Amino acid sequence: MTDQAISGIDTSKAQAAPKGLMYAWHRLKKSFGTPTPYLMFFGIVLWLGTYYLLTEGWKVPRFEKIPGPVEVITEFFSYDPIWGTSLFTEDFHTNVYVSCRRIFIAFALATGLGVPLGLFMGWSRKFKDYTFPILETLRPIPILAWVPLAIVMFSGFETPIIFLATLASFFVTTLNTLLGVESIDESYFRAAGCLGSKKHHVFWHVVVPGAMPFIFTGLQISIGVAWFSLVAAEMISGDYGLGYMIMDSYMVNKYVSMVMAMISLGFVGWITSAMVRWGGNRMMQWRVKALALEGR
């Protein structure tokens, strides 16, 4: 009897399993066998159709002054835009780049500070008793309330905006990480103790993996919170960025450019959330496989 028969595993199929880009292409083709992509497409078409009818078709009151999708798309892809901003103008690319650079810096700082803090708060009851009251006192303060203090504390335009986005993202990341640690079943700690594991081994092999699903769920929420905090800060004290572009367009009645910036913000935010989700799936292959076995 061969080793393959003994193990009961078809090694030829295991070796033929798609990997890397082939695996991504395999999953993409498989998804078209489900109703999900078609429902997504229908949802987008329904949204665009409703948007068109409200603004350009029926011109419903309170919507007739808003630029319609035809006008926005025409301006967005124009080489010679009427309002001065399109996909092919330098200032549009500059605003997108500046906002993305700020968000990545803020998100990296919030993740680097919030995840360890949340892990230690969940791991040590004494440490949580010291830090949790401070966190819960500062967390309800709206980000806009921090704007004057940020301007006083930091010079220039860049640092106050990054500080505000980091602060908003930090609270979400820390709290979700804390909840992730507290959600771990106590039996895992007892089992690790019975096997003679030391504290730092329990931390790295029980606490961190056990909190991972909550951490990446928190990071997806965190990057969304960072985006709307960033845009609010750019509207108030920015010189570049999508938030600044929205406010500047509104002040000079360039409503088409304002809607273009809002839609661009939505797409960029969706892409960054997808990147976080992809990173989480890559780091938690065990969870992805478990959900696949459950048919989820």
Of 179, 150, 192, give the one whose Cα is nearest residue 167: 150
In angstroms, the CA 31 to CA 19 distance is 17
Portions of the chain given CATH number 1.10.3720.10: 90-293
Kindly report, residue by residue over 177-196, the tens digit of the pLDDT.
999 999 998 888 888 888 88
Spatial contact of 102 and 241, defined as CB atoms under 8 Å apart: yes
Structure tokens at 103: 């968000």
- CATH superfamily of this structure's domain 90-293: MetI-like (1.10.3720.10)
Kindly report, residue by residue over 197-210, the tens digit of the pLDDT.
888 888 888 899 88
Kindly report, residue by residue over 89-139, the tens digit of the pLDDT.
999 999 999 999 999 999 999 999 999 999 999 999 999 999 999 999 999
Kindly report, residue by residue over 149-167, the tens digit of the pLDDT.
998 998 888 899 999 999 9
Least confident of 2-11, 33-42, 247-256, 280-289: 2-11
